[in-house]
Amino acid sequence: MIAKLKGLIDTLGDDHCIIDVGGVGYLVFCSGRTLGRLQTGTAAALHVETHVREDHIHLYGFLEAGERDWFNLLTTVQGVGAKVALAILSVAGPEQLLQTIAAQDKTLLTRASGVGPKLAVRILTELKDKAGKMSLGGFAPSAGANIAAAPLSVAGGVMEDAISALVNLGYKRLEAFEAVGVVARELGDDADSSTLIRHALKRLGKDLMR
């Protein structure tokens, strides 16, 4: 079982790279995000997930351990194979996926090749609880990210009412989720939906002016 490869990037393809490790070239399938950070002739270390089947052995490589963890999580969903999981990771990194699943917003997922609305809903539904239990230590959130500020479950209650109201006003669900999550933490548990909406609108207005 191969868990990590360290060597020189020999070749870059549309969905794979060949990494030269001591004169042996390993073909490793990667997401677009990982491939975009690799350069031929330079050294790289890839976290590897090995899939052994009767007719093949495939290697899937990731620069970040968090991306590998999400690859494994995504492939637990029925209908999401390795190819689709890599397609999803090509359009969204670990941080974005956590936010997307927490917000139950299928828009980003449907941008991935092979993911239609029905599969996107299945991914959101099946991974909602699992994603909430994942350790954030698997990847480094970008500066100012709202993951820690936003709760991982917004089903029901005043937060959901506030988010739905913002969506009805024309905001995307993910940006509404983020804004409401931040102001909910700032205002505390006593804030009602109208208060959350008012403060979230102020925050969204400031963000639009940046």
Mapping DSSP onto H, E and C, the string for 40-97 reads CCCEEEEEEEEEECCCCEEEEEECCHHHHHHHHHHCCCCCCCHHHHHHHHHHCCHHHH
Would 16 be classed as within a structural domain?
A: yes
86 and 49, same structural domain? no
83 and 70, same structural domain? yes
What's the average model confidence in pLDDT over 116-139?
Answer: 75
- For residue 25, pLDDT beyond 60: yes
CA distance 97 to 114: 17
- For residue 72, pLDDT beyond 80: yes
pLDDT for position 57: 92
Distances (CA, A) of 65 to 51, 147, 178: 17, 18, 25
Would 131 be classed as within a structural domain?
A: yes
Would 148 be classed as within a structural domain?
A: no
- For residue 209, pLDDT beyond 60: no
pLDDT for position 99: 81
Looking up residue 45, the CATH number of its domain turns out to be 2.40.50.140
pLDDT for position 84: 97
**What does the pLDDT look like over 158-185, one tens digit per residue?**
777 888 788 888 887 777 877 887 888 8
DSSP 1-44: ---EEEEEEEEE-SSEEEEEETTEEEEEEE-HHHHTT--TTSEE
**Domain span holding position 57:** 4-62
76 and 45, same structural domain? no
The domain boundary, picked from 62, 86, 112, lies at 62
- For residue 138, pLDDT beyond 70: no
> Which range among 101-105, 109-113, 148-152 shows the weakest confidence by mean pLDDT?
148-152
Query: 11 is written with which tokens?
Result: 């070749």
Backbone conformation region of residue 114, classed left if phi is above 0, alpha if psi is from -120 to 50, else beta: left
- For residue 108, pLDDT beyond 60: yes
Number of domains in the chain: 3
What's the average model confidence in pLDDT over 80-103?
Answer: 91
53 and 85, same structural domain? no
Residue 25 vs residue 132, higher pLDDT? 25
pLDDT for position 128: 82
CA distance 111 to 92: 9
Looking up residue 161, the CATH number of its domain turns out to be 1.10.8.10
42 and 21, same structural domain? yes
Residue 191 vs residue 23, higher pLDDT? 23
Q: pTM of the prediction?
A: 0.70
